[in-house]
Each structure stands twice: as C-alpha cells, then as structure tokens.
Homo-oligomer: A and B are copies of this chain.
Amino acid sequence: MTIDSIRRLNAADSDFNAQLDQLLAWESVADKSVESSVAEILQQVRSRGDAAVIEYTNRFDRRQLTSAGEFQLSASAMAAALERIPHAERAALEQAAERVRDYHQRQLQVSWRYTEADGSVLGQQIMPMERVGVYVPGGKASYPSSVLMNAIPAKVAGVDCVTMVVPAPDNQLNDLVLAAAAIAGVDRLYTIGGAQAVAALAYGTETVEKVDKIVGPGNIFVAAAKRAVFGRVAIDMIAGPSEILVICDGKTDPDWIAMDLLSQAEHDQQAQSILLSPDAAFLDKVEVSLQRQLAELPRREIAARSLADRGALIQVASVEEAIAVSNRIAPEHLEVSVEDPEKYLPQIRHAGAIFLGRHTAEALGDYCAGPNHVLPTSGTARFSSPLGVYDFQKRSSVIFCSPQGADTLGRVAGTLARGEGLEAHARSAEYRVKD
C-alpha cells in the first residue's frame, strides 16, 4: 500500500491561489432524497412520538423494541460499563475528563452590571440552558472522547439535564462510550440514533424530554435532521471532514510530522492533511516517511486515499508566508512546529485550535490536553469557535432605570421613535419623562 502521489505546490507559483482554492474545494452535497426521508421521519416522530421512534429504531438498527422503556439506559448500566472496562482505559478517560473539565471551567462567563451616575443599572444576566442533547454515533465510529468533549462543557455550564442518545445497531453498545457517559455526568441515556433521535430531542416524546440545544457529530441523516430543526432548537454546527495544517521550519523530525499528517488522514477519505515548509528537502523527507509509515497502519487504505485526494506538501518562502497561507485556509487544526512558535501567535487570525512547538502533537488535543476537539471545519474558523461552555450559557440584558435615567432616556427615545413613525413607542417612553 502506497500513496499514488501527493500533491506538491509552491506558494511562489503564479497560479498558487487558484491551485489552493481547488485543493480546499469541498462542499457538502445536499442530497434531496436524504432531505425528504429526514423530513418524513421528523414529521412522524413529531406527531406519533415514542411509537415512531420505536418503529424507526427497529427498522434501521435491527432491534426488537416493544416499548419505550427498552431504549432507556439506567445510570447503573453506565456505572456498570465503567467497572467493566480495563483499568488503563478507565484511568486514561478519567485523566482526560479531569483536564477537559479544568480547562473548560475557565470559560465560564458570569453576570455583570454597572450603575450609572443617575442611578440606572445596566448589565447582563448569564444563565445555563436547561436541557441539552448530545448525539453520539454508534457502531465503528463510536468514540468515548466525543462523549467527554460534548457533555463536559454542558455540565460545567450548569445545564440541568444532559441527555445522550447513541444508537445500538444489532443491540451492540460500546462499553467505553457508556463509561465515558458515566464519567462526564450524563443525566439520561437513550439507545436511539439517526434522524429519529434528533427528532425526539427536538420535539420531545412521551419518554424523551424536548431539549434546548443538540450537539454532537453524526452521519448525513443526523446532519440533515439537525439542519432541519435548527431554529426550533439550537444546534452546534454541521461539521465537514477533519483537517490539519502543519507549518514546519524543517527542523522537527520528519517522522513526527509525517505521523501527524497521517493521524488526520486516517480519520476518513475526505480528511485533509497539508504541510507548509520553506525547506524543500524537508518536504521530500516527509514524503518518504509518509510512504514508509503508512504501510504499518491498520487504516492505511483510508489514509492513502485521503492523502492522494486531498493532501498536499507546499513549499513557502518563509514561516511568515506559511502563516499568511494558513490564514487564507482557516484550518480546523494548525500545528506550528517551529523554533519560538509563540512569536507567530498574534499573526494567526483564523484557526480552530493552534498547537505550538515540536512537542505538541495535534492528537493530544483530540483526547486529553484540555481544550475541546469539536472545532470549526472547512474554513468556518473565520467565524466560528471551538465548542465551549459559552455554547451552553445564554444572556439576558438587564435594564433598571432610575426616575432620572428614565427622564433622560425617555426624551431621546421619543425623538427616535417618532423618526421611525412609532408613536406608541414614543408615548410609552415619554410617560416616564418628568413634566
């Protein structure tokens, strides 16, 4: 197994920008047949509740549920899974959870207020959401790290009830996923998935309580369902394939960098791994290392396809130019594997997560460094942030006018309201103006 060929680009080429655009091009295909299947599922669950959830779950996940009680999993079942898993994995999950919790606690936002000279008080009251749903994929792509990364920020925010859904195709559940749910403090767990689980969370059923926000990754049916219920409930994001951009000055071990690129490429065939370096000989060494190390990987077919289709080794004039290219790409993960990486940090305008220095492998961020691994993909780091505690808190403006404040503001509001033709607004404000 080798990679057919890895794209080589040079930022000095006159058509580099066009080549880069082509490399990055990726668009989720809006599949009309998926959309209409999902619309039907949403409608059925909305009108028939648990009965529809049971029917779809039996059909899609090959189960034999006869009542809604059977798709609920108790807290003791989660705790039992935690007891069953190997000690080393339990310890690793607990260490990861502790670090994720510690980092996210620093994101907590608190209410604030100030008093003006006339005695009026202005501020913002910050409250957690009441109920959040976490979608966890089933089967092979069922990842305990994803449970931690989605559920812990919600619990840190103070969400009253975190409901997790995870499908159990052929009645199979992943013990590590259940153990992670126990560690993360998931309040309720239902073994359902697909659009029917999203519908249950968005509309509520006799058994599943309606939530305020749905987070977590899923297949195209889950993504289409989340997009369809967006507005009725909040959703996190519709994630594209995962990406890594590595900037290296050529002085990190090429095997390390090659493995960092492979770690992204092994996710799926559409994942994207890009290396930027001013050192052409280093790019050559990484290419050789990629071929050699690929051969040893269990997921080599996926990684080879990803690197051949979407990977690139790009020569740049300098680390500064690499940063400029990175800002155009707005990558999900950015490794800055150079001497004195901190000096480039202020120039990094757009990236989901920034890994500084030769020792900071991106994979540490996937599991246990502390920051979230749910990150903006496909250039959306231009306007999106990592999932965080702030995603589970919301704000209310607070205004408490003193009589003097109401007098001052009432005059201004009256003038502006009449300018907009809104007479009742003007009168309501002016009632509080002193004579």
* Chain A residues engaging chain B, CB cutoff 8 angstroms: 28, 88-89, 92-93, 95-96, 103, 106-107, 112, 114, 120-122, 124-125, 127, 129-130, 140, 143-145, 176, 212-213, 230-231, 233-234, 237-238, 253, 255-256, 259-260, 262-263, 265-267, 293, 297-299, 303, 341-342, 345, 348-357, 359-372, 375, 380-386, 388, 390, 394-403, 405-406, 409-410, 412-413, 415-417, 419-429, 431-432
- Residues of B within 8 Å of A233, CB to CB, are 383
Bound-state CA distance A195–B83 (Å) is 56
Q: What are the residues of chain B within 8 A of A420 when measuring CB–CB?
A: 143-145, 176
Could you list 11 examples of A-B contacts with CB < 8 Å?
Answer: A127-B350, A266-B425, A359-B432, A361-B413, A361-B432, A363-B426, A364-B399, A364-B410, A364-B432, A385-B396, A386-B396
Q: Given A125-B348, A368-B409, A417-B366, verify A263-B400 contact (CB < 8 Å).
A: no
* Contact (A401, B369) CB under 8 Å given A256-B432, A364-B406: yes
Scoring A253, A399, A402 by chain B CB atoms within 10 A of each residue's CB, the highest score goes to A399
Q: What are the 6 tightest A-B residue pairs by CB atom distance, in nearest-first order?
A: A371-B397, A359-B406, A356-B400, A353-B397, A385-B395, A92-B415
Q: Is the CB of B416 within 8 A of A144?
A: yes
Q: Please state if A395 and B386 are interface contacts (CB–CB under 8 Å).
A: yes
Tell me whether A416 and B352 are in contact (CB under 8 A): no
Majority SS of interface residues in chain A? Answer: mixed
Q: A369-B122, A428-B362 are in contact. Are A349 and B130 (CB under 8 A)?
A: yes
Q: How far is the CB of A394 from chain B (nearest CB, A)?
A: 5
CB atoms of B357 and A425 under 8 A apart: no
How many copies the complex holds: the figure is: 2
**B422 and A263 contact, CB distance less than 8 A:** yes
**B residues near A88, Cβ cutoff 8 Å:** 415
Q: Which residues of B contact A386 (CB under 8 A)?
A: 124, 395-397
B413 touches A367 (CB 8 A): yes
Contact of A125 among B345, B360, B394 (CB under 8 A): B345
In whole angstroms, what is the CA distance A256 to B28 when docked? 53
Answer whether A425 and B352 are a contact pair too, CB < 8 Å, given A92-B415, A96-B412.
Answer: no
B residues near A371, Cβ cutoff 8 Å: 122, 124, 397-399
Instruction: Give the chain B neighbours of A380 by CB distance below 8 A.
Output: 231, 234
